[in-house]
Amino acid sequence: MSSKDAPPPLPEPLGVPVADSHTHLDMQSGTVEEALAKAAAAGVDTVVQVGCDLKGSRWAARTAAAYDNVHAAVALHPNEAPRIVLGDPGGAGPRQGAREAGGDAALDEALAEIDRLAALPEVKAVGETGLDFFRTGPEGRAAQERSFRAHIEIAKRHGKALVIHDREAHDDVLRVLAEEGAPERTVFHCYSGDAAMARVCAEAGYYMSFAGNVTFKNAQPLRDALAAAPLDLVLVETDAPFLTPVPYRGRPNAPYLVPITVRAMAQVRGIGEEAMSTAIAVNTARAFDY
């Protein structure tokens, strides 16, 4: 195994345990038990396992039911909805109109299953849902928005948190949340807005979860947003296996690396590691109601 593929070493553990508010254990190497044990050794005592499609959402719910310190979030990722409705837009097959006719029914079926999963007690959130204009072009935006609105309704009806994926779609995500009425607990996962947007989110009471990219050299706007966000609305996450913090960027991420990001966040805020960890632990439990 090359050093680039090797897991980074275990960081110094946090004195006050925190939660990884957004991870994908099903995309990481090793077993769930190994991931949780390694996380606990680093002071990460809870994880929110996030589904991105039906298979992943079922897995998240099963895993959360099996482990007390794992909570599930279930959803169709914003890029999943256009795939269901349009199929492969570039592939050979029925014309787009025919795809859409069958695809709308298929999306309704998939959303009905997310609705069923969202009722389970081990499922604490509906997400990640939202809008992604980076990977999905204009032809898929209507399906994305329809799916997003449906997820908002599901979260509100079941009294669950809403976990937002917002990529290059800030204004439209905020617009849809305002039009639909956001759930009482709404989390912007892997927060990607600037300080001005952080103030808008704060006014609405939305939580902002920061990932390893807050440590990247070119991420000053993110650090400015973190500095502007109220401390009681700040969470931390890995989004593992993605977004590994510096100095291990490019290597596999996992919940046990949360301490690196927490320490970077404390530095940005100008507070001690213990104060940062305590705030994150309290905020995450409040956001996900566990």
pLDDT tens, residue by residue, 167-182:
999 999 999 999 999 9
Q: State the CB neighbour count (10 A cutoff) for residue 45.
A: 17
- Asked if the model's pLDDT at residue 132 lies above 60, the reply is yes
Region 216-220 average pLDDT: 98
Complete DSSP assignment for 132-161: ETTTS-GGGHHHHHHHHHHHHHHHHHHT-E
Whether the full predicted model's pTM is greater than 0.85, yes or no, is yes
pLDDT of residue 103: 80
Q: How confident is the model at residue 88 (pLDDT cuts 50, 70, 90)?
A: low
Q: What is the reported pLDDT for 99?
A: 53
pLDDT score at 93 = 36
Q: Give residue 87's pLDDT band: very low, low, confident or very high (50, 70, 90).
A: confident
What local confidence, expressed as pLDDT, does residue 220 receive?
98
Query: pLDDT grade, residue 264 (50/70/90)?
Result: very high
pLDDT value of residue 1: 54
Q: Is the pLDDT of residue 91 over 50?
A: no
Q: How much is the average pLDDT of 178-200?
A: 98
Q: In 10 A of CB 16, how many CB atoms?
A: 17
Q: Long-range contacts for 215-218 (Cβ within 8 Å, ≥24 apart)?
A: 215/245, 215/246, 215/249, 215/260, 215/261, 215/264, 216/246, 216/249, 217/246
CA 2 – CA 19 distance, rounded (Å): 30
| Matching residue, tokens 């997820």 | 151
Measured CA to CA, the distance from residue 261 to residue 254 in angstroms comes to: 12
Q: What six digits make up the tokens of 66?
A: 């099996």
Count of residues in the chain: 290
Average per-residue pLDDT in the chain?
A: 94
Domain spans in the chain, listed from the N-terminal domain onward: 24-288
Look at strands 123-132 and 161-167 and give their pairing.
Answer: parallel
- In this prediction, residue 92 has a pLDDT band, given cuts at 50, 70 and 90, of very low
| 261 in Cβ contact with 210 (< 8 Å) | yes
pLDDT value of residue 90? 35
Residue-wise pLDDT for 34-82, tens only, equals: 999 999 999 999 999 999 999 999 999 999 999 999 999 999 999 999 9
pLDDT at residue 236 tops 90: yes
pLDDT surpassing 70 at residue 96 = no
CATH 3.30.70.980 given to domain 24-288: no
Measured in whole angstroms, how far is the alpha carbon of residue 222 from the centre of its chain? 16
**Angle at the Cα of 210 from the Cα atoms of 167 and 162, rounded to 5 degrees:** 65
- pLDDT single digits (tens) 134-161: 988 889 999 999 999 999 999 999 999 9
> Is the pLDDT score of 98 beyond 50?
no
Q: Average pLDDT for residues 181-201, to the nearest whole number?
A: 98
CA distance 225 to 211: 13
